[in-house]
Amino acid sequence: MKKLLLGLLFIIASFAVLSSCSEDEIKYQRYYSDGMTLYKDHCQSCHMADGTGLRGLIPPLTDTAFLQKNRKQLTCIIKYGLQDTIMVNGEQYSSVMPAESHLTAIDIAKILTYITNSFGNQQGIYDVTEVEENLNKFCK
């Protein structure tokens, strides 16, 4: 009887915890976690573990205003690289960013969710449908 009561209590507690997490929160956490791994594999060697980049050479990922203003173009920058001069945190950067054309839309969404919610940024999920739309509408 005691085991049955403890088991029932465990089930009720588990249900309460699971029901408090919405599907969107779980998706966000999955994107963020996977994005962290992808960032380490594809971005960190240039943009550094803390997103600070290399002053004068590689832009930081800490400029929330830049990330918000260029949200739609970030997909293109990751997928196709960048060979243009940009201003980040008031500093000019003109180094070439190589294309990561092998990354899928879901990979890019996860990386962008990580970047736009790390290094002082808090912009919420960057969904795969947004990435696909941006690839189709804004990339050359």
Q: What is the structure's pLDDT at 8?
A: 58
Taking the domains of the chain in order of start, what are their residue ranges? 23-138
As a whole number of angstroms, the distance between CA 15 and CA 33 comes to 23
Domain 23-138, architecture per CATH: Orthogonal Bundle (1.10)
As a whole number of angstroms, the distance between CA 140 and CA 136 comes to 9
Q: What is the structure's pLDDT at 21?
A: 73
Local structure of 86: helix, strand or coil: strand
Residues 116-138: tens digit of each pLDDT: 999 999 999 999 999 999 999 99
Torsion over CA: 52, 54, 56, 58 (sign) = negative
Residue 113, both tokens:
């969710």
pLDDT of 17 > 60? The answer is no
Residues 81-106: tens digit of each pLDDT: 999 999 999 999 999 999 999 999 99
Mean pLDDT value across residues 70-81: 97
Residues 18-27: tens digit of each pLDDT: 556 799 999 9
Which helix (H) or strand (E) element contains residue 92?
strand 91-93
Residue in the structure block whose two tokens are 């963020």: 32
50 neighbors 112 (Cβ within 8 angstroms): no
